[in-house]
Amino acid sequence: MSAPTRVRGGNVETLGIFALTTVTVDPTATFYYSSEGNVTTLANNGGTVDSTRQSAARTIATYTPKIGAVLKQIGANITVTNWTALAELHTVTYS
């Protein structure tokens, strides 16, 4: 996917090997980051980003969580290069 992607609600899962440019996850949405490509910009507006279905190492270049955001990952399968967390509540879960 090279076009910006917005997950407005429900569940969306990426599969395969490809990079994502911009992904925005809204509060009622769950984004299953199962593809093996990297993400350039991930804006989590309070939804859930779950990378636990894929153990391959991937990179999120810029991650911006908002209040209520959840990032789930297996150990250190996701490297976040630029974490722009503000003084808002968000959750990171490692399993």
* pLDDT per residue as tens digits for the range 9-27: 999 999 999 899 999 999 9
Instruction: Give the pLDDT of residue 50.
Output: 95
Torsion sign, CA atoms 32, 34, 49, 93: positive
Q: Identify residue 92 by its one-letter amino acid code.
A: V
Q: Where are the alpha helices (DSSP H) in 23-82?
A: none
Q: Say which residues have a Cβ less than 8 Å from residue 67's Cβ, sequence separation at least 6.
A: 46, 88, 89, 90
Tell me, what's the pLDDT at 3?
A: 56
